[in-house]
Amino acid sequence: MKNEPVDVLIVGAGASGAAIAWSLLETRMRILCLEQGPHLADKDFPSRDDDYELSRYGKFSCDPNVRGLKQDYPINADDSCIMPVNFNAVGGSTINFLGHWPRMKPSDFKTKTLDGVADDWPVDYATLSPFYDMNDQTTGVSGLACNPAYPKYSPPLPPIPIGKLGQTLAKGFNEMGWHWWPSDVSILSEDYDGRQKCVNAGTCDLGCAAGAKGGTNFTYWPMLENAGVELRTECRVREIMVDQDTGMATGVIYHGPDGQVHEQKAELVIVACNGVGTPRLLLNSKSKMFPDGLANRSGMVGKNLMFHPLTGVTGVFDEPMKGHEGPMACSILSQEFYETDATRGFVRGYGLHSGRSTTPMTYALGGFGIDSPIPWGDEHRDVMDNVYPYIAGLTVVAEDLPEEHNCVTLDPNLSDSDGIPAPKITYRLGENSRKILKHGEERAKEILLAAGAKKILSKGNDIVWWRAGWHQMGTCRMGDDPNGSVVNGWGRSHDVKNLFIVDGSIFVTAGAVNPTSTIQALALYVGDSIKTNIETLFD
C-alpha cells in the first residue's frame, strides 16, 4: 500500500525523534513520524495499580525479551555481559527511563586529544551548550545551578528533594572532601508548563502517569501533534528504500497496524531508533548499491557499541533511609573521579550516583536490573527486617570506550513478529572499564563508611549488572572521515545525502553520564544544521 509522500520522515518517536521534529517545525515541511509502539494512555501506567511492582517483571519490564509485546523486537544478548533495555511506545525509552539528566563535559568531546583514546567528536561542548539549554527549557529540568563540575549553566527549576538518603551520603562525600551535587533531572520539582510536579512515587521505571518526568510523550509530542506533525503508531519500519541510480533515500517500507506492508515516500529520512534499533534497520536495508547495509560503506554500522557498565555498593545505616520515596535513581551525583588521572591506572573515569533504594519486592528479587534474589528462610527474614529499610547505595557508572568487536549485527535465526531479523549483541567488558568499576567500588565503600554506614554490602566479584544496557551508543558514529564513521558532524550520512541519524548511535564516545540530554541536544543541533544548510542540504 502506498501513502502520500512527505517532506520529512522520522523513524522512532522517542527522545531524539521528538526533539528533531520540534526543531524542524518552523520549516513548515510536512513531517511524519512512524513509531512501532502505541501511544500509552494514563490507565496504561502500572503505578496506578495496587500491585504495581509486579509489572516490573512483566509488561513493563525494561527488558524487551521479558515484555515480549507485539511492538517489541527480541534481542539476542547471549554473547554479551549486558542486556540492552528499552521501551517501545510514543516516548520510546523516555517512558521508562529514570530521568537522570547530566550533561556530557567538555573533555568528553576531546578524548583523543586529551587522553589518547577513542576519537574526538566533530562537535564540541560549546557548540552543543545552547541546545542543551533549549532542551532543558522544553523538557523541564530540575537542578542546582553553578555545579563546579561543569561550565556554568542554570537548570530552569530548583532541585528535587535529595531526601534523608541524599543528605546522609552528601555528608560522606564532604567528609572525604570529594565532589558531589544534587542530580540534574528531567523531573519537575515544581508545576511547569501545564504539567504537575513530581509526587515522589519512586517508580520512575514504570512510567510517570502524572507527567512529571520528562518523557517525550509528555514534553514534545503534545506540542508536535498540536502543530500538525503526523504520528503513526504501531508502524514498524522494515527497511529504508534507496534510488539505485541516485543513491538517495526515497522512503521506507513498514508494517502497519492493519497487518499490511506499506510504502512511504519521503524527501528526507531521519532515523531515531536508538543505538541498537538504528544499526539493525540500516543493516536490514541492503541493496545492490549497499550490499552490507545502508550507509555502511565505512563498515562502521553496528560497530563500537558502548554501554555504561554499572556496579553498585550498598551501605546499611542505623536509621531508615526511606529510599523508596522520591525519584528512583536521582538524588546526588559525584563526579570526583570523572576526568582522567593517570595515577589511577585507567583512562577516563566514572560517576557515583546515589540511586534511591526500591520497593520491597524488587529488593527481595535482587534489586533493579538484577536477577539474584536474596536468600529464603531465616536469612530472608533478617535481610528484610534489618537491612532493607536501612540501606543507601552508590552506583558506579563507568565510561566505556569504543571497541570495534563490541557490535550489533543481525541474528540469522531470530526475528520479530513481522519477520524482521532481530539484533544480536556481541559485547565484552573492556579492561579499562573493568579497572574503572573496581576503582569505583572501592571509593564507594569509603564514602558509605564516611557517611556512617555500619556495614557494607558489595558483590565484589567483578560482575556488572545484567539489565544495565539502558545507554546504547556508538554504533553509527559521527566523524569527518567517511572511512571511519557513518555520519558527518551534523548527523548526515556520508553515503546517503538525505539520510540523517540523530540517536545515541552517533556518539563517538560515551562519557560517564546518562546520555538522554546529550542525545536530545544533538538532535536539536542536527535539526538546526538542516535548517542552516537547507539550500545545499543534499550537495
Partner 1 sequence: MWTDKQNQTLILILDELIPANEKAGVPAAGALGVADFFPAATPYAPDPVQSITGILKAVDDKIPDFAKLPRAEKIALLKDVETRHAADFATLVRLTYMGYYSRSDVRPMFGVGPHPVQPKGYDVARESNELMDSLTAPVRARGQVFRDV
Of 32-71, binders to partner 1 (CB under 8 A) are 45, 47-54, 57-59
Quick check: 376 binds partner 1 (CB under 8 A)?
yes
Buried b / exposed e over 517-526, threshold 16 CB at 10 Å, is bbbbbbbbbb
2 CB neighbour count, 10 Å cutoff: 9
* 8 Å CB contact between 517 and 214: no
Question: Which residues in 389-408 contact partner 1 (CB under 8 A)?
Answer: 389
Alpha-carbon distances of 225 from 31, 61, 191, rounded to whole Å: 10, 28, 22
Question: Which residues in 126-185 contact partner 1 (CB under 8 A)?
Answer: 144, 146, 148-151, 158-163, 167, 170-171, 173-174, 177, 179-182
Instruction: In whole angstroms, give the CA distance from residue 424 to residue 420.
Output: 13
> Which one of residues 289, 365, 420, 449 is an interface residue with partner 1 (CB under 8 A)?
365
Tell me the closest approach of the beta carbon of residue 53 to partner 1, in angstroms.
5
Instruction: In whole angstroms, give the CA distance from residue 353 to residue 470.
Output: 15
The residue ranges of DSSP E strands in 38-158, in sequence order, are 76-80
Tell me the closest approach of the beta carbon of residue 512 to partner 1, in angstroms.
12
- Which residue stretches of 415-537 are H helix? 431-450, 516-532
How many separate helices (H) and strands (E) can be counted in the chain?
Answer: 11, 16
28 vs 59 by CB, closer to partner 1: 59
Quick check: 525 binds partner 1 (CB under 8 A)?
no
Residue 345 backbone zone (phi > 0: left; psi -120 to 50: alpha; other: beta): left
Binding mask 105-124 for partner 1 (x = CB under 8 A): xxx-xx---x---------x
Quick check: 319 binds partner 1 (CB under 8 A)?
no
Burial, 481: exposed, middle or buried (Cβ in 10 Å; 0-12, 13-18, 19+)? exposed
Quick check: 317 binds partner 1 (CB under 8 A)?
no
Stretch binding partner 1 (CB under 8 A), from 358-366, 451-459, 482-490, 529-537: 358-366
> Which one of residues 72, 184, 239, 336 is an interface residue with partner 1 (CB under 8 A)?
336
Tell me the closest approach of the beta carbon of residue 226 to partner 1, in angstroms.
25
Tell me the closest approach of the beta carbon of residue 148 to partner 1, in angstroms.
5
Quick check: 261 binds partner 1 (CB under 8 A)?
no
Instruction: In whole angstroms, give the CA distance from residue 275 to residue 413.
Output: 21
44 vs 243 by CB, closer to partner 1: 44
Question: Which residues in 190-229 contact partner 1 (CB under 8 A)?
Answer: 198-203, 208-210
189 vs 278 by CB, closer to partner 1: 189
261 vs 361 by CB, closer to partner 1: 361
Quick check: 465 binds partner 1 (CB under 8 A)?
no
245 vs 378 by CB, closer to partner 1: 378
Extract the C-alpha cell encoding 142. 530540575
* 8 Å CB contact between 270 and 285: no
